[in-house]
Amino acid sequence: MDTWLIQKTGYNTEETAADGNRFLCANGYMGLRGTVEEAGTDAFPAITLAGVYDRFEDRWREPVNAPHALSVQLSFNGRALTAADPDIKAHSMQLDYRYGIRSRDTDFGPIRLRSEWFASLAECHLLADRLRITAAESGMLEIRTGISTDIWDINGPHLFDFRFETGDALLCHAVTGQAGIPVAAAQSAAYSFNTEETSLQAEKGIYRVLRTHVDAGDELSLHIFAGIYTGLDTAAPAEKAETLCLQAKEQGFDACLEAHCDAWDRVGQQSEIKIEGDENAELALHASQYHLNCIAPRHAPNMSIPARGLSGQTYKGAIFWDSEIFFFPMFVYTQPEVARSLLVYRIETLPGALRKAEEYGYRGAFYAWESQEGGTEGCTNFNVVDVFTHRPVRTYFRDKQIHISGDIAYALRSYYDITGDRSLLEQGGAKVILECARFYISRASAHMDKDSIDFTDVIGPDEYHERVTNNAFTNRIILHTLQSALLLEDIFSDRKEWFAALLSELNYESDWQLLKKLCAHIRAPRCREGVIEQFDGYFDLEDCSLSTVRSRLCDPKEYWGGDHGVAGTTQIIKQADVIAMMALFPNDFSDDEIAANWAYYEPRTEHGSSLSACMYALTACRIGQMEAAWDLFMRTAMIDIEGGGKQWAGEIYIGGTHPASNGGAWMIAALGFGGLRMKNGVPELHPNLPPQISCLTFPITSNGRQMTVEITHNNARIL
Amino acid sequence: MDTWLIQKTGYNTEETAADGNRFLCANGYMGLRGTVEEAGTDAFPAITLAGVYDRFEDRWREPVNAPHALSVQLSFNGRALTAADPDIKAHSMQLDYRYGIRSRDTDFGPIRLRSEWFASLAECHLLADRLRITAAESGMLEIRTGISTDIWDINGPHLFDFRFETGDALLCHAVTGQAGIPVAAAQSAAYSFNTEETSLQAEKGIYRVLRTHVDAGDELSLHIFAGIYTGLDTAAPAEKAETLCLQAKEQGFDACLEAHCDAWDRVGQQSEIKIEGDENAELALHASQYHLNCIAPRHAPNMSIPARGLSGQTYKGAIFWDSEIFFFPMFVYTQPEVARSLLVYRIETLPGALRKAEEYGYRGAFYAWESQEGGTEGCTNFNVVDVFTHRPVRTYFRDKQIHISGDIAYALRSYYDITGDRSLLEQGGAKVILECARFYISRASAHMDKDSIDFTDVIGPDEYHERVTNNAFTNRIILHTLQSALLLEDIFSDRKEWFAALLSELNYESDWQLLKKLCAHIRAPRCREGVIEQFDGYFDLEDCSLSTVRSRLCDPKEYWGGDHGVAGTTQIIKQADVIAMMALFPNDFSDDEIAANWAYYEPRTEHGSSLSACMYALTACRIGQMEAAWDLFMRTAMIDIEGGGKQWAGEIYIGGTHPASNGGAWMIAALGFGGLRMKNGVPELHPNLPPQISCLTFPITSNGRQMTVEITHNNARIL
């Protein structure tokens, strides 16, 4: 078994959406969905650009897909050859997780096409594809390759004013509709056969047409290179794209591939977890690590990662708390510069968070639930479409999921705690923590007749229960934010003047006193027999089984949450909530407390979010429930191999890759099984190795120094 | 045109539910739905008992229907005679609004049946029916009359353990399922013809069977009398019921009718509004006054009136704010002893309100939204059934409609202001006001960083918008409650010790200071161009027309409110809300302010509640918009003639009579057109007579003295 590869045989038009995710190539700058070269929009091909957003009319704002510059259409004796044709002889597709290379092998009968494409990790604007065409019959082969502007968009179109140029490279230039951001794609091609090359400007794209007579046994080679730039990268995206693809052609496919593989080898050295004992688990870990590493923003110092990575436009390409809670840990331990980029994105988007708080009548920083560029809130008030009436439903993710600010403060604090490096706090991080704390001060609900302070009308991690009071997770992360703000005084005890100036700049004097007051009086969670109540009144909700709740669905695509959803009025929760709190604050709780809450909440959890299983697995490791931990680990790590996870929320398509699960798999392996803790750059191990694994090895990086953790059932050491 | 009568010709099985309400007879103790004597449960016959509630299994708790003791089944030559038979020759039904007598006239062909029944206003446990049967052919007539236990219930059954006795009277005895309350019905009969009387105990009831040969032209007379008692009235309900119906038989129908009519004449003298100039309006006023007067609890000093009166079990037979805001005014001006009973009900159910507040973690009195006996909350958390999924929907009427406590305090204060009589305050009313104010203190949301105090997560009168913050109406009625509590010190300035002892008994010392603080800092409503924002953020909601919202309905029975409803996310409101505030607090606002708000809100109001039109009409009178006022008056007053109003909320049947509109019609006529104000028992007039009326005359009662108000376009005087 090759644990670095997935392969799929046959072509199923029903599965192209899922396959596009499973066979994704990406490099942090863009994501190239795992389709075949000839795919039409019905197969959901896309080159999704990180951090470039657009809104068409009143539809959802989402990332922009570039023109498809790896488009290739074959025809033989005038008959179009496509993998979707049910009469083809054979088709298979592979993805190599070590190097992020999607390959295909399609036997159309008279013609066989093999190709390998990748999104270069060495040069983030470059895509390359190597095609080998073998003839089994003689006849006339026509190859059209170029840049298709027949772009699949969920809420598009987003590109307008197309201009095309031909020459050594084909060039397509357009601008986005809302902000007029230029987007350019250029394509060059090298081929091994004699042909009369003509260019064709079609309604939707520009192509070179290569016609050649082939005889049985002939093998043709075609290498294509695409350069993609936008106006956010450079003032001259078209020129850059053209230059890049021509340079790549000159260097040749092999050289491009070598640079790409070298880059992946470096990433592997930094982050690859090796396990022995279970090949399925190895494969799953390779998949998880690939899918998270391939979307890391290594090309920019201030970008974060969307919740569905770069697998398309779902979830609006927005940055969620996934970044801080689920992606951040792997990066901070293995590639701290990426972790830093995720947080710098938040520091730089503080103005957006201040604006959002003001919009709601609060002070401080209320970060966007679905953050787009500049911290713009991408989440609407109507984030679900009802399956029965087809009307949008008022949801409260945007306005009530206030734990997002605390999640960001948590990661900023973790970055300092783990690395011992306070420079990020100095460079804006402290300001973010203080503004998040200030937001909570202004959001707090006090009483006239008692001291305790509530947080009312919130949504916790479990989104099925909207508008609740004193969500345990939310109150805890708020308290942590307040404590982190107060701790800044100690962290900067040797820079008292600087810190005083910061407080003064932020007009923070009276808020500093309120911080202490809120710390002292924020409502502690209620308990019943050792079980923490998820929010006030949760225990009074109907206590029925998951299968009972599921049996009440009238439509499989129904949204489960809110007052109309089957779960909203019961104790069935979407995802870890109290348990997520216990995973994030392990020192607050004894093993017995965690065990009691785990036993209560796990059976009541739908795991309807990819953010859930990981939290249960981490806490299961803590209390030694390794069988459950293993099951949840496998469920987490396999998600992007199986193409699982929820595909729909009401009528909204939410499919894509699951980087939170990918990050979760790393967390379970390294932090759960490995029991890794790091304080001020010094690692410690408290391993809980499951019986399925005989040896677990992984690298970590601290203060620029790489170390290797190695754990067996007899031994645990850091080399 | 007889403006004291409605008549309907023909029998339509589709309309029996509506006709049961339109032809209702009632006397405060019970309601006898306007059906024919032979009606089966498919025609919704009922004798609904005031204040007797029961719950069957997990269904809604609702009032109990007594066994139907006026059941009469005729058959001729073995063929059953029913008005529902499409082959009958003629059928008509009438209701006399002056005396509350429902009469019918049905020509079955061989037999004609005429009858008049009523629920005695002189003796609240008595029902009587006079039947005249005329033969057009000779043949064998069989009459079965007795007590049917085939009871129509919405959420029943409620009666169990039936026992039957025969004798001079037929007797049926049962107990309610939940509390085991005995319910007894007895029937006596007097008839003019020779027959062999036998008794028949059927599966569902007990009957006497009268068989007689008739010849064409024969006329038979049958008078039946029913006595109804429950265990809440007496320890021996069966005996009482039996005694009563036998006494009535002995006195005879005419004597019973005379006593009944005398009682109605007294009510008429106390309350009858006379208008000249528009017969339709006269009829509508007669209908409105009849429907409200017939359900007044004159037999008990401590009862209130359900929102659907005694027309059946809809709205769970519960007491809503309708009692204080819509029923109370007519009674306090015309029959203060009834107004007092409504409020004594609230004083006596204070313990229920204290319990409800405690249940939600608050102090003070949080009155039930749907109050049943003892102040028990009848409102569930799931008060609407979704038409698409048939699942109950979480609604927030029970937990968020906090203005109910303030509405009660408002009526208590009004009773004092209008009558100048403080005895009700002494006898528990002051305590209620103080506990309601205390509830608001504990329910208030303060801020850590500013003085203003919000009321968050409430529902105002406009129920379509759930869980809003700073609803203008709610905040104003809260402020009034606080002011009324503080005013008690002045009202009892000559009884300082008594008042101090009351505060001490209630442990009110620290709350007294908080009252003042809350008064000073409760958030005032926001305004835009003179228009008060109904709640924080209302102006940000989609501003579309009523017809646009209606066009989005996918099902005519859909509930409009909440996050899924078509209105909930728009500015379309169910009923007067800001305008209701202006109607209740006219001195707060200038004519211009009222006009601006009226112009803004009226087009955005669905008037989906019978509580709406009256508030718009009252404010229209104030600003001299008499055309609109007249239209709204007619809409309000005609409602129980036309049988209009919403029949459904989701899948829940909510039909019945509309006492709030009935009370509203009185308010528009007397307070709006007549401009009546009373302060300390001294009336004043500020008339706004619409052009349709040439003369308006009505009685009022103050300090036991009756006066007559007479208003023409030239003159207004109090005689």
Distance (Å, whole) CA A300 – CA A232: 12
Res A379: pLDDT: 94
Q: Note if the pTM is more than 0.90.
A: yes
Alpha helices in A656-718 (DSSP H): 659-666
Of A445, A536, A552, the CB nearest to B391: A552
Taking 80 as the threshold, does the pLDDT of residue A653 lie above it?
no
d(CA A214, CA A76): 10
- Between helix B430-443 and helix B350-359 the angle, nearest 10°, is 10
Would the CB atoms of B394 and A563 count as touching at under 8 Å?
yes
Burial class (CB in 10 A: 0-12, 13-18, 19+), A653: middle
Q: Does A448 contact B453 at a Cβ distance shorter than 8 Å?
A: yes
Chain A partners within 8 Å of B453 (Cβ)? 448
What share of chain A in percent tops pLDDT 90?
Answer: 94
Q: Cα–Cα distance between A564 and A561 in angstroms, integer?
A: 7
Question: A394 and B569: CB-CB below 8 Å?
Answer: yes
Interface of B with A (CB under 8 A): 361, 363, 381-382, 386, 388-391, 393-395, 441-442, 444-449, 453, 456-457, 467, 510-511, 514, 517-518, 536, 552, 554, 562-564, 566, 568-569
B192-223 pLDDT, tens digit per residue, is 899 989 999 988 999 999 999 999 999 999 99
Q: Does B563 contact A568 at a Cβ distance shorter than 8 Å?
A: no
- pLDDT at residue B608 in the model: 85
For every residue of B219-246, DSSP letters joined together read EEEEEEEEEEEETTT-S-HHHHHHHHHH
Residue B389 to chain A, least CA–CA distance (Å): 6
Q: Please pick, among A37, A38, A373, A463, the residue that the annotation labels catalytic.
A: A463
Q: What is the pLDDT of residues B146-159, one digit of tens each?
A: 999 999 999 999 99
Asked if B564 and A386 come within 8 Å (Cβ–Cβ), the reply is yes
Alpha-carbon distance A569 to nearest alpha carbon in chain B (angstroms): 7
Taking residues A184-203, report their average pLDDT: 93
Comparing B594 with A60, the larger pLDDT belongs to B594
Answer whether residue A709 shows pLDDT above 80. Answer: yes
Q: What pLDDT is attached to residue A645? A: 64
A550 contacts on B by Cβ (under 8 Å): none
Closest partner residue to B568 among A389, A394, A511, by Cβ?
A394
Please judge whether A388 and B554 are an interchain contact, meaning their C-beta atoms are less than 8 angstroms apart: yes
- Taking CA–CA distances from B518, the nearest residue in chain A reads A448
Q: Which residues of B touch A569 (CB under 8 A)?
A: 381-382, 394
Q: What confidence score (pLDDT) does residue B652 get?
A: 75
Interface test with B, best of A563, A566, A570 (most B CBs within 10 A): A563
Rounded CA separation B486/A424 (Å): 56
pLDDT (mean) for A290-311: 97
Q: Three-state DSSP class for B371?
A: strand
**pLDDT of A497 strictly over 90:** yes
Average pLDDT rounded to a whole number, residues B584-606 = 97
Cα angle A276, A278, A280 (rounded to 5 degrees) comes to 130
What average pLDDT does range A249-261 have in this prediction? 98
Position B648 confidence tier, pLDDT thresholds 50, 70, 90: confident
Q: Which of B380, B440, B449, B468 to mutate to test the interface with A (most CBs of A within 10 A)?
A: B449
With an 8 Å Cβ cutoff, are B442 and A448 in contact? yes
A364 to chain B: which residues are within 8 Å by CB?
none
CB A219 within 8 A of CB A133: yes
Question: CB pairs below 8 Å between A and B: how many?
Answer: 95
Give the span between the Cα atoms of B41 and B630, in whole angstroms. Answer: 39
In this structure, what token pair is assigned to residue A406? 């605390």
**Could you count the other beta carbons within 10 Å of the beta carbon of residue A478?**
29
Tell me the nearest-neighbour CA distance from B151 into chain A, angstroms: 32
DSSP type of residue A339: H
The nearest alpha carbon in chain A to B563 belongs to A394
The distance in angstroms from the start CA to the end CA of chain A is 29
Mean pLDDT over all residues of chain B?
Answer: 96
Q: Give the pLDDT confidence of B666-703 residue by residue, as tens digits.
A: 999 999 999 999 888 889 999 999 999 999 999 999 88
Burial of A37 (0-12, 13-18, 19+ CB in 10 A): buried
Minimal-distance CA residue of chain A relative to B542: A381
At A97-108, the pLDDT tens digits run 999 999 999 999
Mutate to test the interface with B, among A385, A389, A555 (most CBs of B within 10 A): A389
Q: Which residue of A has its CA nearest to B566?
A: A391
Q: Which two tokens stand for residue A305?
A: 């990662």
Sorting pLDDT into bands at 50, 70 and 90, what band is B645? low
Which of A244-248, A258-262, B700-704 shows the lowest mean pLDDT across its residues?
Answer: B700-704
Please indicate whether, in this complex, the C-beta atoms of B444 and A448 are within 8 angstroms of each other.
Answer: yes
Residues of A with CB under 8 A from a CB of B: 361, 363, 381-382, 386, 388-389, 391, 393-395, 441-442, 444-449, 453, 456-457, 467, 510-511, 514, 517-518, 536, 552, 554, 562-564, 566, 568-569
> What does the pLDDT read at residue B383?
87
Residue of A nearest to B360 (CA): A537
Q: How confident is the model at residue A196 (pLDDT cuts 50, 70, 90)?
A: confident
The residue of B564, B566, B570, B571 whose CB has the most chain A CBs within 10 angstroms, and thus the best one to mutate to test that interface, is: B564
3-class DSSP assignment, residue A147 = strand
What distance in Å separates the CA atoms of residue B20 and residue B657, rounded to the nearest whole number? 9
With beta carbons under 8 A apart, name residues in chain B contacting A394: 563-564, 568-569
Q: Do B363 and A536 touch (CB under 8 A)?
A: no
- List chain A residues with CB under 8 Å of B562: 563
pLDDT for B258 equals 98
- Do A448 and B449 lie within an 8 Å CB cutoff? no
Is there a contact between B40 and B135 (Cβ–Cβ < 8 Å)?
Answer: no
- A413 CB-near residues (< 8 Å, 6+ apart): A433, A480, A484, A487
Residue of A nearest to B458 (CA): A457
Each residue's pLDDT tens digit, A275-292: 999 999 999 999 999 999
Pair A435, A505: CB distance under 8 Å: no
Place of tokens 């795919």: A39
pLDDT computed for residue B644 by the predictor? 64
Nearest to B388 among A388, A517, A566 (CB): A388
Q: How far is CA A14 from CA A17, A39, A402, A642, B182, in A?
A: 8, 13, 38, 15, 66
What separation in angstroms does the CA of B235 have from each of A640, B147, B151, B183?
74, 21, 24, 11
Average pLDDT, rounded, for chain A: 96
pLDDT at residue B616 in the model: 98
Catalytic residue among B463, B466, B558, B602: B463
CB atoms within 10 A of CB B167: 11
Write the CA distances from A194 to A140, A211, A217, integer angstroms.
Answer: 13, 9, 16
The confidence band for A1, taking pLDDT boundaries of 50, 70 and 90, is: confident
A394–B449 CB contact, under 8 Å: no
Residue A463 falls in the annotated catalytic set: yes
**Contact flag A456-B453 (C-beta cutoff 8 Å):** no
